[in-house]
Structure 1
Amino acid sequence: MGRYVVRRLLQMVPVFIGSTFLIFFMVYALGDPVAALFGDKAPDPATAARIRQELYLDEPLWKQYGHYMGQILSGDFGTAFNGQPVIELMADAFPVTLRLTLVAILFEIVIGITLGVLSGLRRGRSADTTVLLLTLIVVSIPTFVSGYVLQYLFGVKWGIVSPSVSPEAPFDELLLPGIVLALTSLAYVTRLSRTSIAENSRADYVRTAVAKGLPHRRVVTRHLLRNSLIPVVTFIGTDVGALMGGAIVTERIFNIHGVGFQLYQGVLRQNSPTVVGFVTILVIVFLLANLFVDLLYAVLDPRIRYA
C-alpha cells in the first residue's frame, strides 16, 4: 500500500503541472490584465509598462509560468489587483466553501445512499418508481431555479431559515445552501446507488450468504452494500472538487463570500492572479480527492489489492 501511495503521488506531479499550465495559459489569454486593471480609462504607456514588468507580463508565457510556480512553492500566490495578497483571500473564502461542501456531501451520503439502497432493494415496486421519478425531476431543474424557490419558501415566506448567509457562515445557516448545492449530485448518488444495489443483489456471493442463513441486515450491510458503494464513492470523491468550484450559483443566491464568489469577481474583473491562484488550489483538491478514493477501494472491497 505504501508503494502504491508513493507511486500515485509521483503521478500527480505531471498532472498538476500540466493542469496548472493550461489554466495559466487560458486565463492570461482572455485579455490584457493591465488594461482590465484600469477599466475604461486608457492607461499611461509608461505606467502600463512598469506594471507589466512588475507582474512579469513582459516575459514569454513559459517564463511567467515558471516564475508563478516558484512563487507557489514558497507559499506566495501573488497579489490581487486591489493590492490584497491572494492567500488572504483564500484564507477568508476556502473555510466558508469547505463548510458548505461538507454540508452538501453529508446530504449526498446520508440521503442519497439511503434512498438508493431502499430503492434498489425494492426494484420495480412503487417506492422504486417514486424515487426514480423524484430524482429525474431534481436533475431536470437548474440550480438557480431550485435555489431561488427554496430561498423564497423557507427563507422569505415561511421564515424557517435566514434567506442570506452572514459573513461568518455558521453551519446552521449553511443547511439550506448545502441542500441546494447538493440536490443534483444527490439525485445522481441515489440513482447510482440504486442501480449498483439492484445489480449486485443477484450476484453469486449474495446468494451464497443468503443460503448460509445469514440475517438479511448482515447480508445487506456486510456484503451487498460494501461492494455496491465502489462506484458511489468514485462519484462522491470527484464531486468534492466539483462542488467547491461549482458553487458560484449557490453562493451568489445566498450571498456567501466563498470560493465561487471570489472566482466570479475575478473573472468579471479579469483579476488573473486571483483566478489562477484559486483554481490551482482546486486542482490540488481534485488530485487529493482522487487519491483518497483509490485508497478507499481497498477498504470497501477486500478483493482489491495494490502491489
Structure 2
Amino acid sequence: MGHYVIRRLLQMIPVFIGTTLLIFLMVNVMGDPISALCGDRKCDPATAARLREQFNLNAPLWQQYLTYMGNIFTGDFGTAFNGQRVTELMGTAFPVTIRLTVVAIIFEIVIGISLGVVTGLRRGRPIDTTVLLLTLVVISVPTFVTGLLLQLLLGIKWNVIEPSVSAAADFSELIVPGLVLASVSLAYVTRLTRTSIAENARADYVRTATAKGLPRRRVIMRHLLRNSLIPVVTFIGTDIGSLMGGAIVTERIFNIHGVGYQLYQGVLRQSSPTVVGFVTVLVIVFLLANLIVDLLYAVLDPRIWYA
C-alpha cells in the first residue's frame, strides 16, 4: 500500500505541472490585465509601465510561470491586482466554500445513496418510477433556476430562510445553498446507486448469501451495498473538486463570498494571480480526492489490493 501511495504521489507531479501550466497560459491570453485595471480610460503610460514592472508582466510567459511555481513552494501565491495578497483571499474564501461543499456532499451521501438503494431494490415499482422522473427533472433544470426558485419561495415569499447568506456563513445558513449546489450531483448519485444495486442484486454472491440464510439487512449492508458503492464513491470523489470550483452560480445567487465568488471577480477583473492561485489549489484538492477514492476501493471491496 505504501509503495502504491508513493507511486501515485509521484504521478501527480507531471499532472500538477501540466494543469497549472495550461491554466496559466489560458488566463494570460484573456487580455491585457493592465488595461482592465484602468477601466474604460486608457492607462497612463508611466502608470502602466510601473504596474507591469510591479506584477512582473514584462517578463516572457515561461519566465513568469517558473517564477510563479517557485513562489508556490514558499507559500506565496502572488498579489491580486487590487493589492491584496492571494493567500488572504484564500483564507477568507476557502473555509466558506469548504463548509458549503461539506453540506452538499452530505446531501449526496445521505439522500442520494438512500434513494438509490430503495429504488434499486424496488426496481420497476411506483417508487422507482417516481424517483427516476424526479431525478430527471432535477438534472434537466439548470442550477441557477433551482437556486432562484428556492430563494424566492423559501427566502422571500415564506420567510423560512434569509434570502442571502451572512458574512459568517454558518452551516445552518448553508443548508439551502448546499442543497442547490448538490442537486444535480445528488440526482446522478441516486441513479448511479440504483443501477449498481439492481445489477449486483442478481450476482451469484448475493444469491449465495441469501441461500445460506443470512438476514436480508446483513446481505444488503454487508455484501450488496459495499460492492455497489465503488462507482458511487468514484463519482463523489471526483465531484468534490467540481463542487468547490463550480459553486460560482450558487454563491452568486445567495451572496456567498467563497471560492466561486473570488474566481468570478478574478475573471471579471482579469486578475491572473487570483484565478491561477485559486485554480492551483483546486487542482491539488482534485488530485488528493482521487487518491483517497482509490484507497477507499480496498476498504469497500477486500478483493481489491494494491501491490
Cα distance in 2 for partners of 1:28, 1:97 equals 26
Q: Report the identity percentage.
A: 76
Where 1:3 maps in the other structure, the secondary structure is: helix
**2:202 paired residue number:** 202
TM-score, with structure 1 as normaliser: 0.99
Corresponding residue of 1:25: 25
Task: Look up the SS of the partner of 1:264 in the other structure.
Answer: helix
SS at match of 1:74: coil
Greater CA drift, 22-31 or 51-60: 51-60
Shift of 1:15: 0.3
CA drift at 1:207: 0.7
Q: Where does residue 303 of structure 1 map in the other structure?
A: 303
Please give the alpha-carbon distance, in whole angstroms, between the structure 2 residues aligned to 1:304 and 1:148. 44
Instruction: Give the equivalent residue in structure 1 for 2:249.
Output: 249
**Superposition map of 1:79-228 within 5 A:** 79-228=79-228
Tell me how far apart the structure 1 counterparts of residues 204 and 32 of structure 2 sit (CA, whole Å): 62
Partner of 1:4: 4
Number of the residue aligned with 1:282: 282
Q: Hey, what's the Cα distance between the residues in 2 that align with 1:61 and 1:39?
A: 24
Gaps of 5+ in 2: none
Displacement of 1:131: 0.7
Unaligned residue ranges in structure 1 (runs of 5+):
none
CA shift digits 1:95-134 (9 cap, x unpaired): 0000000000000000000000000000111111111011
CA deviations over 1:17-46 (Å, ceiling 9, x no partner): 000000000000101111112122212223
| Partner AA of 1:4 in structure 2 | Y
Spell out, residue by residue over 1:124-147, the C-alpha distance to the aligned partner (whole angstroms, 9 max, x if none): 111111110110011010001110
Structure 1 residue 55, shift from structure 2 partner = 1.8
List per-residue Cα deviations over 1:34-88 (Å, max 9, x = no partner): 1112122212223322322222211111111000001111111111111110100
1:61 lines up with 2:80 in the alignment: no
Distance 2:42 2:164 in 1: 38
State how far apart, in whole Å, the 1-side matches of 2:95 and 2:117 are.
Answer: 32
Q: Which moved more, 1:115-124 or 1:33-42?
A: 33-42
CA distance in 2, matches of 1:42, 1:160: 48
Please name the residue that 1:271 is paired with.
271
Q: Distance in 2 between matches of 1:239 and 1:87?
A: 24
Query: Aligned AA for 2:288?
Result: L
Measured against aligned partners, the alpha-carbon deviations of 1:214-237 in whole angstroms (never above 9, x if no partner) come to 000000000000000000000000
Q: Which amino acid aligns with 1:292?
A: I
**1:270-301 residue CA offsets vs partner (Å, 9 max, x unmatched):** 11111111111100110010001000000001
What are the superposed Cα offsets for residues 196-216 of structure 1, whole Å, 9 maximum, x if unpaired? 000000001101101111000
Quote the offset at 1:256 in angstroms: 0.3
Q: Deviations over 1:236-269 (max 9, x none)?
A: 0000000000000000000000000001111111
Counterpart Cα distance in 1 of 2:148 and 2:43: 41
TM-score relative to the length of structure 2: 0.99
The secondary structure found in structure 2 opposite 1:4 is helix
How far 1:156 moved relative to its partner? 1.1
Residues matched between the structures, number? 307
